[in-house]
Structures are given as C-alpha cells and as structure tokens.
Structure 1
C-alpha cells in the first residue's frame, strides 16, 4: 500500500513539474525566424513603458543597432527586424533602461556576461552543424595552476574513438577565445567539436585533441583580471608551464612541437601568436583569427621573426591568419599577407565573408584544421 502511494505521489509530482514547465514554456516565446532571415522578437512586460531590442553585434548583423518594440493589449512586446546576416549574434532587451537577457532564449557567455544569442542559419554553410557522424567528447577538466595559484578549468575535446583504442596518441590544438568570453566560447558559440567531428568523418582533418582554456590570468591577489584582459605574460607562463604539462600528463598526446599547435580569435589571436611564435620549441603550428598583428611590419613584428624567411619556414610547419572581409583592418592585413608572400614567408591566408563574429571564426577553424598536423 505504501509503495503504491509512493508511486502515485511521484507520478503526481512529476506530472505537476512537467505540466508547469509546459505552461511556462508556452508563456515564454523566443525569437522566431522567417524564410528571409527576418527575426521577430517578443517578451512579456506588461508594466514597461518602453522595450527595445539592443543588437550587441555590429549593426549589420541584425539589420540595425536597435529596434523599438510595440506593445499589445496583453502586455506582450514584439518587433520584426530587417533581414539578418547568417551566424550567431548577441542581443539583449532594454526595458525601461534596464538591460536584461531574453528569458526565452539560450544564454551564452559573451561581452563579459551571460547574454542572449540568436543563431541565423546559413543556407550555404553546414560544416558546423551536428550531423549523423561519430562524435567526440567535450570534457570539463579542473587543474591547479601553480603560476596563478588558482584552481582553474578548461574544456578538452577528444576525437571519436578516443576511449575505444587506448594505444593511439593524438596531436593537440590549444584554442583560445576572444575578449569578454570564456573557455566555453569555442564549444558553445563556435561549435568547434562539431566542426572537427565533421572534418574527421570526411577524412579532411587529422583526429586531434583540442584544449580550450580561459584566456584571463591574474597574479595572486590581483583584482579585476578581465579589465582589460588580464596579464598576457602571465597567461603565457600559465600555458607553457602549467597547461601543456598537465594535458600531456592527463591525456594521450604526442608530446612534441611538431604535434602541438596554438590558435585563437581576436584577443586569443594575439595570445596565440605571441605564445606560439615566441616558443618555437613548443609549437610548430600557429594561427590567429581576426587579430593579433598590430602595426604589421616584417622587420619589427614579433621581434623580427619574419625577417629571415628561410629560418621561419624551416621552423614553423603552419602559419595561418585571416580576417573577415567586413572587419576593420581587413585591407591592411590582406596587404600584409601579400607582403609576407612576396618576402617568401610560407603561410595560409583566410578571408571569409563577414565581420568580427563567430561565423567568420568558425570558417577560420574549419580551414585551419584541414592544414594542421599534415
């Protein structure tokens, strides 16, 4: 009798939770997308005097920097945008001057906070979408960093069949996020795991481990490590003295420079280029997406590492960098690529259509991964 009562009670509680969740989901309507990539945003705010959609990406991403919403008799606010550019775009609501995330949309860590994102499908690109192929795993890995005297975490992608055959060792790509983001960025926003799963399934990329760490590091006792971006020299020490030895110890890596690469986007591009080009004893492949090369000059950039083309080419198996065609600085970086090529520096230049955004960086990783460890 007691068991029957317990089963009934559990069924009742489960049903209550289930139907409460359904009811809540019905109230909360997230963004809807039309066939021509126009987005309708909506939110329930009956007491608000005004509500806006604030575009946190560049103005062209959602068609305009912001949209004023209109209110119906039920207290629901809505607006339909102009046609939006494909890709992942950050946004938030302005409700009577308070900036809030969309309660009916997924949250991602960007702009230094958890904020709403909208994914606009790209009819011409599907390489970052989950497909019916063997999938690797993304593992959350905690470790003690002696450099910062802190307990840190990183995400580690292991390729399909990593656990099936424990005799196989793998090359490693260290992959860094941009400013205001975190170690979650390349998995949540960038879809790095799906990109590699698909490439490996098509035999376009070598199976590899990807390590995604938080790019902010502060000395013990320091405050506000994210303003503006922590201590780059300290982060370099953290990668070379803590992260790499830990990964080589905990995972089945091929622990030599020929099978170790570093890449990153924006702020992470600067970190990757400084660390990678500055430590040729550790890395044979280096890549920067949308950043990292300021006041580009063959004679002076990165302590003059480009002066001797023959030495550079014999040292690095891959030097990859690129910018989106709509990014500020695209023309100067394109010209620098031409200058490097004329000087004899072997490299791969990438110029996806787009701005300073995840759709561009997804393409960068897709292209770069096909050159790594070949």
Structure 2
C-alpha cells in the first residue's frame, strides 16, 4: 500500500527532476530518410546540416563527387542513377570532411573509414539477397591468440547445424583485406546469405565459414596499449611477409584448433579450404603454400604472389607441379579488369601456367571492390568440398 508521504515524495521527484530530463534532451530536427532507393533504381541521399557551406556525395558507383543541394530546412539532397543492383559503400563530404550517413544504420566495418552502405535490390533477388530459404547462424567468437592477446572471429554455421547434432562439416577460412575487419565478409560481403541461397539451391555443400581478423600486429598493439602500425609499403617486402607469416602462425596454431574444438568441424585437409581478398588473398596463398598438409582448397580473390617470391619462398610448389596438382583440389585466382592489382594477378596466372600448376581463374569487370568479392564468393563456394572439381 502506498502511503500519503510516499505519494508526496514521488510527486515532488517528478516536479523537480522530470522537467530537467526533458530539457536535457537534444532538440529534434526534421526527419531525414537516407538513402531512399526508388522504384526506377535511382537513389536519393539526404543529410541534415543547416550550417554547412557544401555537401557532396561520394559513392563507389559514381566516377567523382556529386554536389548536393540544400532546402529551407537545412537538408542537403541529391538523386543519382539509375544504379546497377548491388551493395555499395558511400559517404558524404561536409565542408571537406568525410562523414557517414547518420540516417543509415548499415555501415562498412573498416579500421580507417566507416562508410555507409546502400543496397539496391534486383528485379529478381540477387545471390546475396535475403530470400525465403532456411538460414544459418552468425556467431562472434574470441580465442587465445599470439603474445597473450585475445583474437576475434565471425563464424557462419549452415542451416540445420543446431538440429543435426551428430553431423560434422567442412570449414572455409575466409580472410578480409587490408584495413577490413573480421566483420567485413559478413556485413559487406553478405557471405552468410550467399551460402544460405546456394545451399538452398543445392549448388553448395553445407559448410562452416570462419572469418578471422587479418591484422595481427594491429590487434597486439591495441591490446598492449600501443599504436596501430602503418601498413607495409611493399606488398612482398620483408615487413609484409613477416606479418603474413604471423597471421599463418596464428591461424594454424590458434584459430584452427579453437574452431575444431568448438565446432563440429571435419579435422583434415580435404575438408579445409582457405580464401581471401586483397591482403587476405596474399595471406591465403602464403598460408596454404606453407601448409600443404592443412588445406586442399585455395581461393585468391584480387591477389597474387610475385614470381620472385614464388621462386624464393615456394619453389616446392612449382618444382613438382604434378605433386602440387594432386594435393590441391582447387587453386582459384580471380581479379577485376580495372583492379589496381590486375597486372600482378595476371602475371601470377601466367607464372602458374608456365610452371604447369593447374588453377581456375575468373576475370571480371570492375575494380578492387566488394561488389566483385561477392561474385567471387558465389563462384567459388559451389566448387569447395566437391568430390570432383573440373580442371581447365
């Protein structure tokens, strides 16, 4: 029973404090809807900045910045397109400063910049679209890593994993590029939805996908109170190779044992694949070629190793091509024709061909983008863990 004294105290509290709380709330401006994907595939972007002198849209589907115009409420807007259906990063430049879209919750996980994402749906659902099919799960995991640090993983388990408790699965270790995080293949690459859709269509085998963070040096520095080291300036220089070797050590010594203890993974090379984009593709090739007893399936997306590094560090791969071709059930190399790594990647393909090392390749339009990465994931995952993989 509430006494009169307590009632008076509650009323006094409400009178004294509730108005203060209300006054402490920031004033609400006009509702901003951004991005707005229109039926004709044009997109309207909006940004509230009444005091800004200029606002521009920077988007990966545009060749350059797009000026935006301001209305009477201080909302800047621009409509562009039509835009080819896909998922694209974008941001605003407000008086010369790059910012995310505050009206949009979808963002690009990255060490340096936090671009926003816009999803332009196709007239028929694209391979990465959310469809009415059984869905797998995404799990965040933490494992004991190098120098006493804690590593982080994003792990996809396929539909039915939590029901068929006696079934074991092959594992695809999938590594993001420079400045990306362990979330990028999930949040930008939509790898979970691609696999859900391919599995539902009977095109890919159910598999576990493990997405690690590739920048071991940055994580060690962060957790030990240091500053993130600059990225190597030479792709196959001593610093880059050392960091790749550290990643290899962490993956082989820490990540794989953790995954095979924590998940129902089939623990042999025939049921392990490794792949990656950009820096992650270089880490993929170095890790696989140094551990041929661990991986039978290898996918390099927009990445390569130079002939000099191959001759110097991986002569065993090309010295006995028949043995390599027998060991590797799939060696995949892909790149976009406008990718800044196109020349080196094609040179790597030519090198493998001259050394009689079998591989499958795909050259697409476009550049060093996650639009291409989704294409490569959709093309390679149906090949993984199949009993027979076609050779060129």
Task: Give the TM-score of the pair, scaled to structure 2.
Answer: 0.81
- Quickly say closer, same or farther: Cα 1:279–1:123, change in 2 above 3 A: farther
CA contact (8 A) 2:144 2:151 kept: yes
Question: Which residue in 2 is equivalent to 1:11?
Answer: none
How far 1:203 sits from its partner (Å)?
1.4
How far 1:226 sits from its partner (Å)?
5.5
Deviation string, structure 1 residues 116-162 (Cα, Å, up to 9, x no partner)? 122233557711112111111111111221x2311222111111111
Q: Which moved more, 1:97-106 or 1:249-258?
A: 97-106
SS of equivalent residue, structure 1 residue 108: coil
- Quickly say closer, same or farther: Cα 1:211–1:71, change in 2 above 3 A: same
CA contact (8 A) 2:88 2:371 kept: no
How far 1:190 sits from its partner (Å)?
0.5
How far 1:197 sits from its partner (Å)?
1.0
In structure 2, C-alpha distance between the alignment counterparts of 1:107 and 1:142, rounded to whole Å: 22
In structure 1, C-alpha distance between the alignment counterparts of 2:262 and 2:102, rounded to whole Å: 39
How far 1:234 sits from its partner (Å)?
1.5
Q: How many residues align?
A: 353
SS of equivalent residue, structure 1 residue 148: helix
In structure 1, C-alpha distance between the alignment counterparts of 2:205 and 2:100, rounded to whole Å: 39
Question: Which residue in 2 is equivalent to 1:47?
Answer: 51
- Quickly say closer, same or farther: Cα 1:125–1:228, change in 2 above 3 A: farther
* Equivalences for residues 1-374 of structure 1 within 5 A: 27-35=31-39, 37-55=41-59, 57=60, 61-62=61-62, 64-105=63-104, 106-110=106-110, 112-122=112-122, 126-145=126-145, 147-218=146-217, 219=220, 221=224, 223-225=226-228, 227-228=230-231, 231-294=243-306, 299=311, 302-303=314-315, 305-330=317-342, 333-334=345-346, 336-337=348-349, 340-341=352-353, 343-374=355-386
- Quickly say closer, same or farther: Cα 1:295–1:120, change in 2 above 3 A: farther
In structure 2, C-alpha distance between the alignment counterparts of 1:319 and 1:267, rounded to whole Å: 17
- Quickly say closer, same or farther: Cα 1:132–1:82, change in 2 above 3 A: closer
Q: Which moved more, 1:270-279 or 1:329-338?
A: 329-338
- Quickly say closer, same or farther: Cα 1:226–1:266, change in 2 above 3 A: farther
CA contact (8 A) 2:172 2:272 kept: yes
Q: Kindly name which structure, 1 or 2, has the bigger radius of gyration based on alpha carbons.
A: 2
SS of equivalent residue, structure 1 residue 27: coil
How far 1:169 sits from its partner (Å)?
0.7
SS of equivalent residue, structure 1 residue 283: coil
Deviation string, structure 1 residues 62-91 (Cα, Å, up to 9, x no partner)? 2x3211211122211112235444433222
In structure 1, C-alpha distance between the alignment counterparts of 2:331 and 2:343, rounded to whole Å: 19
How far 1:184 sits from its partner (Å)?
0.5
In structure 2, C-alpha distance between the alignment counterparts of 1:205 and 1:313, rounded to whole Å: 23
- Quickly say closer, same or farther: Cα 1:40–1:174, change in 2 above 3 A: same
CA contact (8 A) 2:245 2:286 kept: no
For structure 1, the residue ranges without an aligned partner over 5 or more in a row are 3-19
CA RMSD, Structure 1 to Structure 2 (Å): 3.0
How far 1:328 sits from its partner (Å)?
2.8
CA contact (8 A) 2:111 2:181 kept: no
Q: Which moved more, 1:45-54 or 1:206-215?
A: 45-54
In structure 2, C-alpha distance between the alignment counterparts of 1:296 and 1:354, rounded to whole Å: 27
Task: Give the TM-score of the pair, scaled to structure 1.
Answer: 0.85
SS of equivalent residue, structure 1 residue 110: coil
How far 1:166 sits from its partner (Å)?
1.2
- Quickly say closer, same or farther: Cα 1:344–1:148, change in 2 above 3 A: same
CA contact (8 A) 2:67 2:78 kept: yes
CA contact (8 A) 1:290 1:324 kept: yes
In structure 2, C-alpha distance between the alignment counterparts of 1:292 and 1:180, rounded to whole Å: 18
CA contact (8 A) 1:217 1:225 kept: no
CA contact (8 A) 1:174 1:211 kept: yes
